[in-house]
Chain A
Amino acid sequence: MRKTRRWSAHGLLGAALLAPLSAPLLAAGPARAQAPAEEALIREPALISMVEAPYPPAAEAAGLGGRVLLLIEIDATGVPTAVEVLEAAGHGFDEAAVAAARQFRFEPAATASGPVPVAIEFAYEFALAPAPLPPADPAAPPTPEAEAPVNLTGTLVEMGTRRALGSTPLQVIGADGQAQDLMSAPDGRFEARGVAIGAAQVRVVAPGFDDTPTTVEVTAGELTDARIWVKNLGYRDNEVVAVYQKKREPEITRRTLSVAEIRRVPGTFGDPVRVIQNLPGAARGPFGLGLLVIRGANPEDSNVYVDGVEVPIIYHLGGYRSVINADLISSVDYLPGGYQVKYGRSTGGVIDVQSSRTYEDQDKFTWKTDVLDTGLFYKGKPGPKDKWGVQVGARRSYVDAFIPLFTRGSEFVVKPRWFDYQVKADRIDKGQDELTLFAFGFQDKLFIQTPSSFAQSADQDTQGDLSTTYQTHRQILSWTHPFTDTWSLWVQPAVGFDAIEAGLGSSFELTQSFTNLSARAELRYAPSEALTASLGLDSQATYYKIEFAIPFLPSFDQLDDPLAEREPFRQTIDGWYFSPDPYLDVRWRPLGDRLLINPGVRLNTLKIGEAKALLTLDPRLGARVAVGPTTAIKAGTGVYQQPPQGQEFGIDEDELNVNFERGWTHEVGVEQRIAETGTLDWTGFYKGLDRLIVNNPDAEDATVDPIYVNEGVGRIYGMEIMLRKALVDRWFGWVSYTLSKSERNDYPERSEQRTAEGVVTRGPEAWYDYDFDQTHILTVVGGYRLPRDFELSGRFQYVTGNPYTPYDLAVQDLDSDSWAPIQSGAKNTSRLAPYTALDLRADKLFTFKYWQLEVYLDLLNVVRGENPEQLIYNYDYTESAVVRGLPFIASPGFQADFRF
């Protein structure tokens, strides 16, 4: 009796794939793709690697068959993330089908924006075929293969990844030269009968694989079993493409890039977060430090999240490395504007780093080293029953270890360093429930030891060592539970701790600590495909404690008097502030996939001490219309408000003198798909800012007068273009261009005021270009994949220079021996020369039996312009010079991946 297993996924899988396997017994019944996307699918998921389920022995013995209907959730990389039995068959069929489906691999579904996660229904049929008919002539001799016993078995294993190569054609050539053509089973196993005694040759004959034969010694009277290692001729041709787009949500502007593209952009050190600096809307920070200047906003006006939990900074000291290990990142949502109400407390952009939840069959250990740091990372399913997926990583920089080697003879000791860690556990056998525990943290430290005889300045209080330490830790629990087809709940409590410690000499000490208790919850109601409503809460409760010791000056009006006597002053300020922000987000598709309307509203709250609570409302509206199969128009408008920040609270916690800063953003855009792999994305935007917090020019006594007032206004407007070719046919690339203007006026309502030189400093005409206003930002990135896993890539950048305020004269204070400059022009009316640079990168992947090694060389600033980063003056402001950007840097590194 022969047994067969049949499967189908109706309307989803490519006919060519289905036909040879399921034509005889296609199951009936409805099936559909359930994409959480509001954007139309342009490509359905296709099964590219199937694993056959073993036929349950008891059922086989009893002659039973069955049909199991599964719901398979597939992520944007084509990997099943959850498998649920919708219709059970019992008799062991359900367990067998689920186990097999977990090992499937798909080509992911895609919208015009790129691959997306979907859920599909999948019918897996188990049937016993009729027993084969007896031979027509029982006396006829059987064929030699059928007659001979199995004397050679083996497993095809891909080198480096240790993946079993299922359904792969191979050839076994015995010592007598007789060849047998075979096909490996889904688990990579094969069997050969009657192989001649002696040295046999086994080789894979599938395209894309090295066909060099492996010699196996076949011994008489024994069953020989061999593991056949097979080298893939192009591992990167099969590289999983994860995309900056884990969840399809209707932000008006969202940039998507594949991890494969990201890792090969020169200058990013393979860090997905740093790639953002090459996307439209992101201005270039000084020295490439990674300051998040998004659409002309102050860096502090943009928020950064990890799995939806806010973190204060995203880059380590120097901006070269993000604080989350790149191996743990599955996607990065870069939202320069027009984002949903689930994000708040920001008038700038948003970056949300999403951690990975997918796990391969093999556990993986990664060792990565370059000029900056070394990191170790483990990802796998350590338990016996694959209940939990675990990721553990840690990195440490060693700049501090090397610097003393180059500063011998100097009494100065400079020790910058960072350390970070991540521990994550995902429950992966809970069906549609998602349960995740995630802890991560980092510490950045800068220590400069100064010789005791070295006078750093005339100020006695600033002599001595400088040290600063920054640390952040987060522990996150995330649980998603679908109650029914229409109701689901996401809950995410988190505990965090941030601290900054700084010290200079013996008199300056500053310690700030923030203990954050945050909670996010979202109740989602989706009564139909046309409507989804989410009621959420984004709550923060923070205990802050600020301790500082300074050589305090006795009165406010003596702050600028170097002759004033000093008294050591120490103070501790602590308290709580609360910000429980509810929001409601609705996604309505009245015309199916052709039209999405996304209204939302968020209530911003801030309660600190006994001060009166601040309450403001952010209404937002977004829309997206598909005007053709390859064209979409998008538009959005909304209010974005940001609470006063720590130092703006004031010392008296019972009185909060400033309110939320406010931005009103409008944007409209077009997305055009070009051929199969290209996209053109154009967005125009305008953002009006008001109630910006500025220094109170009337403050005379800091103990009485408010230091800050909500008087500033601003306007930011421009357009962004991104023309991109995805990583297909060996090359990828994009051109990103931003044309924008960012202006501020700190005191528009005050009467006009001019300096002696006629410079307008206040009043309705006192607009000035913001510090990071960069009119033109052009980035061109491209990469080409050569044979044998060798790849070249490059990046060119042109950025308008930053504005600065010109000075050409100063007045000397003889008591402090310092000079106060006098403006020779209005604020920020001069500009530095443009920044231009060309970076290159080459990398090569080597594959061994048990591991893979990637080596790479980043060549930064191969060609560069003058690249002034900053204008500096001599002591009396009569001379100036530019500080140039980084010189040519060659940065080698490697990454080793071990799978087991």
Chain B
Amino acid sequence: MGLLYGLIAVGLALIFGLMDVTNFAHGEFLMIAMYLSFFLFAFFAIDPLLSAPLVAAALFVFGAVIYLLIVRFAMRAKANAGMVQIFTTFGLAIVMRGLAQFFFTPDYRSIPQSWLGGKTISIAGIFLPEPQLVGALVSMAAFAGLYLFIHRTDFGRAIEATREDPGAVALVGIDKNRVFAFGWGLGAALVGLAGAIMASFFYIYPDVGASFALIAYVTVALGGFGSVFGAFAGGIVVGLVEATTALVLPPSLKSVGIYAVYLLVVFIRPRGLFGSI
């Protein structure tokens, strides 16, 4: 379960953690991805696992478009930039939820039969639910890919440089908007991947994103802003803490453990575990 949070958080780690843009609509991106995956299944009988690349590609376009149409202008604000970003993306989240309710109705939906749903696999005598296992593997791959992308490619370096100093970046001929639009697209594609995998074993409804989004923010902040590895570590910590809390406290309180650990960590290390900004 922890790596699943990690999977949701990895896209956010890029947008929120590396580019330092607040995105309160991250959960809604997840929701859209889950619906996409659901409809691909319902109409074309494509298993969520197969449709994952499609969903990710669609979300890439969606994320980039949202950036170019809306977020770009929110970042241009000279005053209260933080608040403008918070409330623009929050408004966006409300619109997306409303649209989902309008077009998809508030009903709970699920994908009844998929390759992953409800199956378990036995490795050396330990039974693991398949969806979580696949989620974990994809999550690790996504983190590794993002890490390499940020640290090994020019584009990754451009993203970090743009956050640090947009003015200087413009001087060396990098178009800030192109870099950030690409970053948003990539972040959305990653959450698209997460949504497609989760669609095979979670209920899908317009508000589904909200319950995961906060945990994703906590995961990114716990790991520390500006660090891909931090978000990965944050995901693992969150998963472990949740599992441990579930053993000692009633299930409805399991998130309390995560929140408490976040507070504890930032009180000791005010920049998260591996944060640099």
Partners in one complex: no
Q: Identify the B interface with A (CB < 8 A).
A: none
